[in-house]
Structure formats: C-alpha cells, structure tokens
Structure 1
Amino acid sequence: MRPSSYSAGHDAPANWSMLRRLWPFLLEYKSRVVLALLCLIGAKVASVYLPFILKYVVDDLNGRGVQAELSLVPLALILAYGATRLANVLFGELRDTLFGRVTERAMRRVGLKVFQHLHALELDFHLSRQTGGLSRDIERGTSGISFLMRFMVFNIVPTLLEIAMVAFLLSINYGILFALIVLVSVVLYVFFSVKATHWRTQYVREMNQADSSSNTRAIDSLLNFETVKYFNNEQYEADLYDQSLARWELARRKNRLSLFALNGGQALIIALSMTSMMGLAAWQVSLGKMTIGDFVLINAFTMQVFMPLNFLGFVYREMRSAMANIENLFNLMDQAPKVVDAPAAAELKVTNGEIVLRNLNFAYHPERPILREINVTIGAGQKVAVVGSSGAGKSTLMKLLLRFYDPTSGTIEIDGQHIHDVTQQSLRCAIAVVPQDTVLFNDTLYNNIHYGRPDAPDADVERAIDLAHLRDFISGLPKGPDTLVGERGLKLSGGEKQRVAIARAILKGSPILLFDEATSSLDSQSEQAILAAMRSLSANHTSVIIAHRLSTIVDADTILVLDKGELVEQGTHTQLLNQQGRYAELWRAQQREQA
C-alpha cells in the first residue's frame, strides 16, 4: 500500500495575517487600487441614492392621482433614476476592470514565486513530495488569492459600508427603530454565519483531503503506468482510486448537508428581519406618519441591504476556505531550503577542473552513514571512474559534487574553491550530467536535446546529435527530430533516452562531466559507439564516471573502489587487478556473468 496523500486540510481558524502578506503584491498598481476604491464608493453612493429617487417618483405620482398626466417633474425623476442606476452599474464595471489587472498580476507574481521556490528546495524535498496533492494545493492557493482579493474589496467592504450608510439614513429620516432592526439583524446574521462556518470547517477539510487524496492516487498511478501493466494491477489501482473517490463522495455529502443547515439558518434570519421592516413600515403608513413613497423606499432599502447580506454569508465561507488554501501555499513558500548559497557566495571559476575531496563524510540519517572519510584528488582533465557494489555510495558522491546535499563533514573543492562558498547556479553550470535514469519532457526529441543549452544555435544541436550517435535513429523516425517522446520519454527505449541525455550533456559544454552509469541501458554495439563519443568528449574535460560495467572504464586514469561508503582501493585497471583486492573480485564476477 502506498503512503497516504498530501494533506490539504486545515483546522485552524482563518488567518487574517495572510492579507498582510498579499499586500506587497498589490502595491505594483497603487494608482489602479486607488481608482478602483473611488469607483467602489461612487457605486455605493449611487446605490443608496436610488431608493430616494424612487420614493419621490411614487409620492409625486400618488399625489397627482391615477388619471393625472405625466408632467416634467416625475419624468425628470424617472430619468434621474435611470441615470443613477446606469452610474451604479458603470462604476461597478469600471471598478472590476481596474482591479482585475491588479488581481491577475498578484496571481502571476505569487505563482512565479512559488514555482521558483519549489525549484530552490533541496532534492530531499522533491524525493518525498506527492505531486498530485502538491499541485492541487498550489492550484487552490493561487485561485484563493483571486477570490479573496475580489470579494474582500468588492463584496465584504462595500456591503458593510452600505449597511452603515443605510442604518444612518434610516435613523435620521424614519427613527432609530428601523436602524436597530437592520443592525441587530446584521449582527445576528454575522454571528450565526461565523459559528456555523466554524462548525462545518471539518467537513470542508475532509472534502479537500479527499480531493487531494484521489488526485494524488490518480496521478501516481498514471505516472507508473508501465509498472501497473507489468503486474496486472489495473483492477487493484481502480479499487484504490475508487476508495479515494468514496471518501470524497462521503465528505461532499456531509459538506452539502452542513451547507443546507447554514443556508437555512441564514434565510430564517433574513426573512424575519425583512418581515419586521415591512411590517413596521406598513404600520407607520397606516398611522399617516409615512407616505407610500416612504414605504417603497423602506422596501427598496431592505432588499438592498439583505440580499447582499445573504451573499455575504457565501462570501465569508469561501473567503475562509480561500485563506486556508492561501496559507497552505505560503507555508510551502516558508519551507526553507536546506542547501542555500553562502551570504557572500562568488561565481565558480573553472580554470583546470581539478576536484579535491577532503575527509568527506555524509549520512542521510545520523544512524546510517553513507560515505566515510573520503580523500581523493581528481587531476585536471583526468578520467576517473567510481565503482563498487550497489549501495556503496557512488551516486551519493555525485549528488554531493552537484551540491544537492551538503556533506556532514569534510570539504569538496574545484580548482581550490570550496563549493560551499560559490553559487549553486555557477557550480551546476560547470558540470554536465548524464544520469542513470534519464527522464525527458513530453516534447519533441529535438527540444529535449536543445534543453541542454536553450540558447544554443541549431548547428551546435546537430553536432551534439552526431557525437551522441543519434543521427541514424532520428533519420529513421517518421517525424524525425520533431517526434514527440511522450511523458517522461516513455516512447523511447532506455538506450535511446541515455543517448539523448549524452547529447544534452555534450550541448551544455561544461568543463566537468559526470556520467552516472551512462551505458547501463545500451546494447553492445551502441555501448561501443557511446564509449567512443565519451572518449572524444572527455579529451579536454575532467570526467567522473560512475560505472557498473567495469569493461567500460578500463582506460580510466584512476579507478576509485568504494565499499560500504569507504574508499578501499584506487589505481589504474591493471594496478587494481594486480592487487587482487575488491576490484579484482568485482572484475572476475562480471567476467563469469558475461561468459
């Protein structure tokens, strides 16, 4: 059973400090924010003034009688009503247009920052992550920014502003009782909405967890499509996915029922409030204290206040969810990389390409050391091979050279420069890697090779193709270099993918080359061609070759033999065979296998 999915839920109450963290992203368009707020105020003033125009129209028509001709006064009022309503709509549209650019730019900036931060995190994070749940958290977080900004600025604040204006105008014109009904109703509504929303947070959290779980399960299964087929586990995967979907279905049902209870309670408060307002207004009309126009004005104000208030409940719920999603996103951004550049890190200057390892120790976990007291000097331009049984620490040595991890103790120097004191960017720029497991982008064959140096001219790409012995293979494809390689390069064989990786390393043109079992997936003929290419490529470079097939590194200047994390032997192929030690044992074992 694979591990459970990335948790997307959130128990804590809404974290309003997220607004402070978003504020810098909004300041890029300060003038637009100010203009949008002015339009917001204009729209609300027009909205509050509308019921008064309606009152004057009704009172004027009522005073003239049913048969009275339409005079200039009510006609002017009707035109004013239409103009004010148009102004209300136009101010609102202009506000949305102005602030839309601000929100979109904030989403872009945050999205880019998260993307860059993920690439800055150490290898250990990416080995432990669950891509499906992580991608959903990023998606929900960036969408939450748009929702929070749009509804906080254009719904919550305007609605509260309008309620305050209406309560003030009602108390001035019609007495404190009308204003009290509005204020008490608003307080009850907000109190109930907050309490009920907190109660149903658990169901929202369960739904998000189930959503992330099912998405992680689906992506994990599809990324391992071949493994599923190898073991005939299609139904097993379908059952696991269905279990995730069943949890999602149950969580959705609970969420829907709790939403029904919340909406029902809100509707009851609004219904009682509107009935009270209309009843009081009708009673005042019957006493002759108010006109029919006043009754219409009270009715319009009641609708104007309580209908947005009903929507306010939905907005608050969604804002709270959005803030939880944004907090997940910012928590991800707060995760500090374990491997960082030194404060005064300089650019690595590679003159000769000499690599020195001094007293190097490393452990992924303190109780399980991987490398112990490694002391090696790799001369400039030398071809050095690292061999040993599985788990001896060969690939770990490569990861330390690339500074994917920092050593537990000891140092690594390139041309006398401690790699901890130079930027990671310049370090990795100086090293080209041919990994053991080549993963390609779901793009064309040509673009995957070009990825080694995106600004390289076409002539350099063609040269890399020739040196990696890919020309005949590409010529035999129906679409040639424009052939799509599929997700993770699954349309290519292991040997073809490794030749693409070698072409990328050739194109990168770095002074130091790392080959991590680069010929392990090649047939004998392809292997000899690649070895010839590697020899010509390594002529003026410092090369470190992690090898499983010892026959491929017999011409190495020095062979380092690792055993259980310790350097037990080093020398040329002939010297090591004459020593009759660990290397000789590995050589004889492979010769027997080939025989």
Structure 2
Amino acid sequence: MSSRSLAVQVLHWITPIAIGTTYSIARLIAFCALQKPSRCSRGSAKTRQIVSVVLSATVSLLFQFQEPEQQDVTQDIQVYVGGSILIWGTMTINLLGKSKHIWYPYLAAWIIGALLETCVLLVKGLSGSGKFYLEFGAILQICRIVCLSVLAGSVTCFKLARLRADEEHRPLLGSHGRTHEDCSSADSADEDDDLLPAQDEGECSDQTKELKEKHKKRLQESGSWMAYLKDFKLLAKLALPSEDRSAKICLAILVVVILADRALNLLVPRQLGIITDKLSSVHETGEIPFKEIGLWMLYVWLGSYAGLHAITQFCQLPIEQYAYRKIGTTAFGHIMNLSMDFHSNKHSGELMAAIGQGQHLYRLCDFMFLDVGPMIFDLIIAMVYVTLLFDASITLIMILVGVGYTCIGTKSTSWAVQRRRRYNQAQRNESKVQNESIGNWQTVAHFNMTDHECAQYSKAVDEHNVARGRYYMAHFAGYAAQNLVLLLGQLSAALLAAYRVSRGAAPVGNFITLVTYWRTIEAPLTSVTFSVRQLSQMLIDSERLLELLRTQPSVVDRPEAEPLRFTEGRVDFDRVGFSYDTRKASLDNISFIAEAGKTIALVGETGGGKSTILKLLFRYYDVSNGSIKIDGQDIRNVTLNSLRAAFGVVPQDPSLFNTSIMENVRYARLEATDEDVKEACRAAAVHDRIISFPDGYQSTVGERGVKLSGGELQRIAIARAILRDPHIVLLDEATSMVDAETEAAIQKAFKRLATGRTTFVVAHRLSTIQDADLILVVQDGQIVERGTHEQLYALNGKYTRLWSKQLSKQAAQV
C-alpha cells in the first residue's frame, strides 16, 4: 500500500469521527453551561435556519452519490460515507427544529468538516508525479467543501455584524439594557428549551409554582448544570453506603459481578457461534462438541438468575436498605429540628409525601453502578466487537439505531417529564385532600359536610387518574416508537450479515453470534433513554425533598453555645422586641424581672402578645431586639437542648399521641416508673378519672387525644408537666377547659409544683392568678401595667376593667 493510499484511509476514518466528536462535545458544553441561543430578530433567525438546513441537507445528499473507487467497498470508505451521512443528516434534523440555535457547535463542525474534506481532496487528487486530477467524486467533494465554507462563513459574518451593531448602539454610560437588535420577550419561546429542565404547564398550587420558580432561578444563577447538580451531592451522599461496612462490601462485590457480567455478554453469543461452526464441520459424522456445549452452558448458568444475578440481588438489597433508612431518617430528623416559623406554615401531608418520594432515591446507587457504568461499557465493547466480527457497516447501523433511539427517547422523555410533574402534583393533592378531611372529621361532621368532602376527594382522584393516564400514555408511546427503531435496526443488521455470509466473507457462526448478541446490544441502547428518564424522574421527585433539606432552622445553637448553668431560676427580659411579620411589631420594649421561685402572670386581651412572651422564653423564636437571660445567661448563648430541658410546658391546646395514657404521661420523663406517673396524675386531679376507664392507664386516647374531653386532655397535659419536675414552669391557659371544682384541685397542685420554681402563667381567668407574685398586663405587645393583684386593682386601670368584666360575666351566669 502506497503512502498516499494509507493517508486517504486514515483521513477516511478520522473525518467523520472528528466532526461528530467536535459537534457532540460543543453541544454538551452548551448544555452543561445553560447557554442560550443568539439574540436576533425573528426574520433573521428564520432565514439563517432555512439556509443552514438547505446547505446541510445538500452536504448529506452529496455523500449518497459518492462512487467507490473500487468494486469492493473497504471499511474506511464505509466509515467515511456512512458516518458522514449519519452526522450531517443528524445536524440537518436538529436544524429543522427551532429557528433559533446555539450556533457554535454547528460552526465548529462546519469548519472542521471543510478542512478535513479539503485534506481528503488534496491527498486523493495528487498523483505520484505531483499533478492534480479531478474525478466525479472529487467534484462532489468540492461541492461539499463549498457548502460547508458558505455555512461557516455566513454564521461568522453574522456574528461579526452583530458584535459591531452592539458596539455602535451601546450607550456611552454603559447601560445594561437590551439593544434594538435583541429579540423581544415574545421570542424567548423560540429558545432551546431543552437546555432547561421541563416545566409543568398545568395548573398547580402556589407552593408548587413558587418551588419551580425557585429551582428555575437557582438553575439560572448557578450558570451551568454542573453547578446546579452540586446541590444534589447531599442526596447522593445519603444514598451511597459510606458509613455501613457490610453495605460497602456488598458494593465492592457488585462491581466485580458487573465486570464479570460484561464479559458474559460477549462470551455467550460467541460460544454459540463456535458451536454452530463446529456442528457445521462435523455434520453427518456423529461427533458431538461436548466441550463447546458444556462451556456454553457454564456461561449461560453464570449469566442466569441462579448465577451472578442472584449475587447481584443479594448484594443490592443491603445497599438499598441503607439508602432508604439514611434518606428517611435524615429528612425526618431535619424536619423535627426546624424552627417554629417553619412548622407554623407546614402542611403535614406534603412533608410526608416529600419524604416518601425522596426515599425512593435508594435507586440512585442502582442507577450509578448497575445502569450508567455498564451501559457505557457495553456500548464501547459492542462497537468494537461488531466491527471485528463483520465490518464497520454493521457498526454504523448500530450507531444509527442508537442515535434514532436516543432522539425519540429524549423527546418522549421531555413530554413525560412535563406530565410527570402534573402527575406528582395531582398525587400530592389527593393525599392533601384525604389527610385534611380525615384529620378534621369532627369539623366535617359538625357542619354536615360529608357529601362535600366526598365530592372533593372524588374530584382529586379523577384529576389524579387523568394526570396518571396522560403520563403513562406518553411513556408507552415513546417506548413503542423506540422498539420499532430497534426492530428495523435488527432487520438491517441481520440482512447485511446474511449477505456477508452468503458471499463467504464471514462464517455462519458469526451470523448466529450477531443475532444472539443483538439483544445484548439493545440493552445499553434501551438503558440510554431509560437512564435519562430515570435521572429526570429522580430529580423531579427529589426536588421537594432537596428544597426541604435546604431549609435551615431560624433558631440554632451558636458556635460558642454552652449548656445552661441553672442556679436559681431568675429570668430577666431586657427591652425585648419581636415581630412575626416585619411590617408589624408583636412585642415592643418588654422589660421585667422574674425572681427565682416566683410566679409571674401574664393577662390581657387575646392577641396582645402573652403567649408570644412564653414562646420567646422557650426560644421557639429569637428576639429581634433586647435580650432574655436566665441566671445572667443570654438564652441565645446556651444550647437549645439544655435550655428546653429546664422547662415544663402546658400549652393552651395540648396534643397527645395515639397511645395509652400511661405512655403519654411518661413521655415527659421516659425513665419514670408507673407509680411516678400515677402520682403526677393525682397531683393533676385526673387519677380518679383515669381509673374509671375500662382499661385504666392503658386506655388509648385516639389521634391527638380526641377520645378525651377537653378537661381530661388538659389535666393529662398538666400531669406531664408535673412528672417532668422542671426548673421553670410555663402554663399557657392551663385551666381554660376545666370546671371550678377541678380548677381548685389543680390550683393546689400548681402551688406544690411552683414551690421553689419560677413559674409563668398566661390566664384569662383572673381568679386563677390572684396569688401571683407579679402580674403583667399585656396590651398590643406592650406591658401597660404591672404589680400584684391588690396593687393593680387599686390602680383602677386596665386590670381593674378586666376583673370587673369577668365578675359581671360570672354574676350573669349565676
């Protein structure tokens, strides 16, 4: 072979590979960097699109008229002609889409193509004497070079013209506004939306819309997909078995099994080909190829569910369980540690749905190690092996099938992603309606709205079914189209292989190997789109969980925080200010001192800020101004656990777990004995009532304690506070739902509980706080009066008016 022929063959191989690689890498860079199409007028973009499509299609068509220089088409010519048709045809199809494109991937491919085609023309046209000869193929090549040069030149000239126009119209003071050459806002719909995540165009809740806007803004601010996906490293770390030794061992075994499985994908069809050739050679001799058949069965056994697949399943389970547990417990713990401002606006059903969807990210490990890695490995091996088995023509068919399969899959995935978002929203909405109705059954019954709630739930189920149906229809339609492409590709490869065998270019066994191996080729092709769809689905399902995990508590331990050193129990509010909403202050300049062991009562009209004072003391929120100190220590400088461990709280609306009374009371101090629990219940004047129940202390109280009356519920809550034996007691309307006789018994218990303890009492019944050491009258977020009962009554002010109103109500009731 002459040096000129060798150079031509090398250029034949390099040309389509270099062009395809350049275009693919440039497109990948544009995708990862979230680059947008060039800004231009709509007419200019349309004109450029038409010209580019026509010229690119011409280049592709010119290759189809390429005449081989010899009767037998060599592999380099097959790669050159077939690969070029595939590449230029794919680019033409891409140009047929939107009128606006990111042009530099095309520009780079056109420039590289023109240069390499010129090199091929020069090398082929030069004879040994140094003279240049033109043939029909060379004329076609010149036409292709001209078309590629025009394409590259037109885009280059446009870019230069636009840069000059932008420079001429740029204001002297450097305005950041858009120039007159920019597209209008209406043109933005023509941009390459495939560079951004699919958005849900259906109706959705305000929270979902807000979440999508946040993600879209975060993606644009990140500047690239790589920066955007960095946020998902948190979820990836949770899914990977980094802390479980047995799971890590299973992962290592999985890697070995995956490598062995890749080898079996080749060995099984290859062994069938060997058996076919062996049987052909011993035809009618009576000889049986035991060794070849035995080896084939060994490979089949290793690749079956009784072989390596069984090991895969056994090793996969611990990894999935680890990820499921890690994600679930991390999300749950994060939610439980968020601050009061989050939980005041939460929706329990949506939070549970977010955790449930996020827990399915245990598939992330499967995706990374069982799908993506083997898929890439199989594709590379398949291209090399099929080329060695026959020639590059069947490899080109396989690449063509892969490109078509992937394009259809990508498009169907974009449709499915949009419908998946609607499906997820409909699913969450059904869960929300269901949870709201069942959780508020009493309210529904009170207003006789059962039929209305059933209709609402029926509507939510119908919307769920419609969204689910649309999602799966798009899903199934995409699969059907992809499988059709696979069947056509298999038919083409089988016919070409049969042609090679019929001409004696390959043994019969190679045909059997190819037909058997084709199913192995289909697997990675199927995995390409499936993996993209799987990744898209995991990202969609994990968006809400990721947003949840990114939510940080507003009240946290400071780095220098130390445990609370409780000595006496003196509480000092110093010019405290606070607001739930920055537009309106809830507390303003609250200052008072609660001496150790004293009882402080907070009274006033509803909404004045009494409960807010207790919330700040418990540090549900941090103060906006001033400070709160316990024994001289700012509560913001001590750890939350040590601070809250010092309190015993009886809330205004107590809630119990759906367990026994014994377990609910013991929740205050888990190490308490049964006798301790009963003693606390006696102190709360509820013991006699409990033992009158059929199951006594083992009686279940229902969800949130709905089986108990209001007075019973509140007294059990008081018993919990008594059992806790706290340093500081917080009572928020602790006797609002008990009768006068029970109230008197509870007051005695409170006196015993408050002995030696600092106690804060929020009360509307002023009769319950007459003996308080200090009474603070709170109105509109300010302390308007302070003193003992006698002192305040003598002032004849706000407290006196409140006292008189209550006496009047009591007299009227009598």
TM range (shorter): over 0.9
Kindly indicate whether the alpha-carbon contact (under 8 Å) linking 1:5 and 1:213 is maintained by their aligned counterparts in 2: no
Matched, 1:84 2:84: no
Amino acid at match of 1:292: V
> Is the partner of 1:340 in helix, strand or coil?
coil
For residue 49 of structure 1, report the CA deviation from its aligned partner.
0.8
**Aligned partner (choices 677, 689, 703) of residue 487 of structure 1:** 703
Q: Distance in 1 between matches of 2:206 and 2:301?
A: 51
Q: Distance in 2 between matches of 1:58 and 1:294?
A: 9
Kindly indicate whether the alpha-carbon contact (under 8 Å) linking 2:235 and 2:546 is maintained by their aligned counterparts in 1: no
For residue 406 of structure 1, report the CA deviation from its aligned partner.
1.1
Matched, 1:33 2:251: yes
Matched, 1:98 2:315: yes
Q: Distance in 2 between matches of 1:524 and 1:19?
A: 58
Q: What is the aligned partner in structure 1 of residue 743 from structure 2?
A: 527
Amino acid at match of 1:359: R
**Equivalences, count:** 589
Instruction: Classify 1:454/1:142 alpha carbon distance in 2 versus 1 (closer, same or farther; 3 Å).
Output: same
17-26 or 499-508: which moved more? 17-26
Where does 1:29-428 land on structure 2 (aligned, <5 Å)?
29=245, 30-65=248-283, 67-71=284-288, 74-89=289-304, 90-143=307-360, 145-307=361-523, 309-310=525-526, 312-428=528-644
Percent sequence identity is 33
* 1:232-264: CA deviation from partner (whole Å, max 9, x where unpaired): 111222222233223222212321222233112
For residue 75 of structure 1, report the CA deviation from its aligned partner.
1.4
For residue 68 of structure 1, report the CA deviation from its aligned partner.
4.0
For residue 104 of structure 1, report the CA deviation from its aligned partner.
1.9
> Is the partner of 1:375 in helix, strand or coil?
strand
**Aligned partner (choices 549, 552, 558) of residue 765 of structure 2:** 549
Instruction: Classify 1:500/1:70 alpha carbon distance in 2 versus 1 (closer, same or farther; 3 Å).
Output: farther
Q: What is the aligned partner in structure 2 of residue 539 from structure 1?
A: 755
Q: Distance in 2 between matches of 1:419 and 1:499?
A: 29
Matched, 1:435 2:651: yes
Matched, 1:469 2:685: yes
* 1:306-336: CA deviation from partner (whole Å, max 9, x where unpaired): 1453355344323311122223212211111
Kindly indicate whether the alpha-carbon contact (under 8 Å) linking 1:36 and 1:96 is maintained by their aligned counterparts in 2: no
Q: What is the aligned partner in structure 2 of residue 21 from structure 1?
A: 234
TM-score (normalised: structure 2)? 0.70
For residue 265 of structure 1, report the CA deviation from its aligned partner.
2.0
Kindly indicate whether the alpha-carbon contact (under 8 Å) linking 1:54 and 1:81 is maintained by their aligned counterparts in 2: yes
> Is the partner of 1:540 in helix, strand or coil?
coil
For residue 155 of structure 1, report the CA deviation from its aligned partner.
2.3
> Is the partner of 1:514 in helix, strand or coil?
strand
54-63 or 301-310: which moved more? 301-310
Amino acid at match of 2:237: P
Q: Distance in 2 between matches of 1:178 and 1:292?
A: 16
Q: Distance in 2 between matches of 1:369 and 1:289?
A: 89
Q: Distance in 2 between matches of 1:547 and 1:468?
A: 18
Q: Distance in 2 between matches of 1:37 and 1:120?
A: 37
Amino acid at match of 1:594: Q
For residue 47 of structure 1, report the CA deviation from its aligned partner.
2.2
Q: What is the aligned partner in structure 2 of residue 587 from structure 1?
A: 803
259-268 or 122-131: which moved more? 259-268
Q: Distance in 1 between matches of 2:441 and 2:461?
A: 20
Gaps of 5+ in 1: none
Amino acid at match of 1:48: L
Q: What is the aligned partner in structure 1 of residue 786 from structure 2?
A: 570
Kindly indicate whether the alpha-carbon contact (under 8 Å) linking 1:217 and 1:241 is maintained by their aligned counterparts in 2: yes
* 1:449-481: CA deviation from partner (whole Å, max 9, x where unpaired): 111112223332232122222221121111111
Q: Which has the higher contact order (CA 8 A, sep 6+)?
A: 1
> Is the partner of 2:729 in helix, strand or coil?
strand
* 1:530-551: CA deviation from partner (whole Å, max 9, x where unpaired): 1111111111211000001111
Amino acid at match of 1:20: K
The root-mean-square deviation of aligned C-alpha atoms, in Å, is 2.0
Kindly indicate whether the alpha-carbon contact (under 8 Å) linking 1:436 and 1:516 is maintained by their aligned counterparts in 2: yes
Q: Distance in 1 between matches of 2:675 and 2:478?
A: 66
For residue 353 of structure 1, report the CA deviation from its aligned partner.
0.7
Gaps of 5+ in 2: 1-203, 220-224
* 1:77-125: CA deviation from partner (whole Å, max 9, x where unpaired): 2211121122223223323322432232122122222111111211111
Instruction: Classify 1:486/1:70 alpha carbon distance in 2 versus 1 (closer, same or farther; 3 Å).
Output: farther
* 1:465-509: CA deviation from partner (whole Å, max 9, x where unpaired): 222222211211111111111111111111111111111111211
Kindly indicate whether the alpha-carbon contact (under 8 Å) linking 1:341 and 1:421 is maintained by their aligned counterparts in 2: yes
TM-score (normalised: structure 1)? 0.95
**Aligned partner (choices 208, 217, 221) of residue 7 of structure 1:** 208
- Larger Rg over CA atoms: 2
Kindly indicate whether the alpha-carbon contact (under 8 Å) linking 1:433 and 1:513 is maintained by their aligned counterparts in 2: yes
Q: Distance in 2 between matches of 1:353 and 1:68?
A: 104
